[in-house]
Chain A
């Protein structure tokens, strides 16, 4: 694996509270397996612009996202409630690993 760093977007309606929570959860999940994470919290309508600009590996969100997004989108509410969290964590880890392997 050439790259051990992942860039993600945490997304929620206001681009502040829940997105920051998601971003920090993803950070701790991936840091556990020695992957560095650069996370930015944004609003849904900003996602397409960020992703099209390049450099974003995947998106974790609590809100529906408009437009055609070219990277994986993971639903992040389980990271806030703990319900269905194991599957969500698994999805984040496997998505990150797949991205790193394809680099």
Chain B
């Protein structure tokens, strides 16, 4: 379960953005600065989001952007809570839009060995209390602590 990195440098509170692209770019750049992703990661996430949208109509709507393992060096998760919601297309139903209040950007180099971790993450998306806790984190430090507690990293 180890080796998924949750780092304050990959988190943002009330990020002020106008579009999903801006959010993906911001979080991808942070991943890149940390050296966790390879060249082309950002472009690929943006491209993939168009083709296979990741907006989830959960109790607090959010997006789980990600891309293929070949663009990833280290397993990590970047999270931004948003000042104002931005529109994403809904996963599995591109005709529908959701107003995401949070963006999760996942970098996973081998999802098959991270199944338990992904299961925990999926559980969070269904858990209104957990989502409220993440959404309401007032500092990066608190957000990191909440994520670590919820994911038991």
A residues near B (Cβ < 8 Å) are: 12-18, 20-21, 23-25, 28, 41, 61-64, 75-77, 79-83, 85
* Residue ID in chain A nearest B128 by CB atoms: A82
For A41, the chain B residues whose CB sits under 8 A away are 111-112
Pick out which of these stretches binds chain A: B3-11, B29-37, B61-69: B61-69
CB atoms of B125 and A80 under 8 A apart: yes
Asked if B136 is at the interface of the complex by the 8 Å CB criterion, the answer is no
Asked if B18 is at the interface of the complex by the 8 Å CB criterion, the answer is no
For B121, the chain A residues whose CB sits under 8 A away are 21
Tell me, rounded to whole Å, the shortest Cβ–Cβ distance linking B87 to chain A: 17
B residues near A (Cβ < 8 Å) are: 48, 51-52, 54, 56-59, 64, 66-69, 90-93, 106, 108, 111-112, 114-116, 118-119, 121-122, 125-127
CB atoms of B64 and A18 under 8 A apart: yes
Name the contact of A25 in the complex, choosing from B66, B111, B112, B119 (C-beta under 8 A): B119
For A23, the chain B residues whose CB sits under 8 A away are 115
For B51, the chain A residues whose CB sits under 8 A away are 13
User: What are some 14 contacts across the A-B interface (CB < 8 A)?
Assistant: A12-B52, A14-B66, A16-B66, A20-B114, A21-B121, A24-B116, A63-B52, A63-B92, A64-B92, A75-B92, A79-B122, A80-B56, A82-B59, A82-B125
Tell me, rounded to whole Å, the shortest Cβ–Cβ distance linking A18 to chain B: 7
For B64, the chain A residues whose CB sits under 8 A away are 17-18
CB atoms of B58 and A14 under 8 A apart: no
CB atoms of B56 and A20 under 8 A apart: no
CB atoms of B119 and A16 under 8 A apart: no
For A61, the chain B residues whose CB sits under 8 A away are 92
Task: List 4 extra interface pairs beyond A12-B91, A14-B66, A21-B122, CB under 8 A.
Answer: A13-B52, A14-B48, A16-B69, A28-B119
CB atoms of A16 and B108 under 8 A apart: yes
For B122, the chain A residues whose CB sits under 8 A away are 21, 24-25, 79-80
Name the contact of A81 in the complex, choosing from B57, B66, B106, B116 (C-beta under 8 A): B57
CB atoms of A17 and B106 under 8 A apart: yes
Tell me, rounded to whole Å, the shortest Cβ–Cβ distance linking B9 to chain A: 22
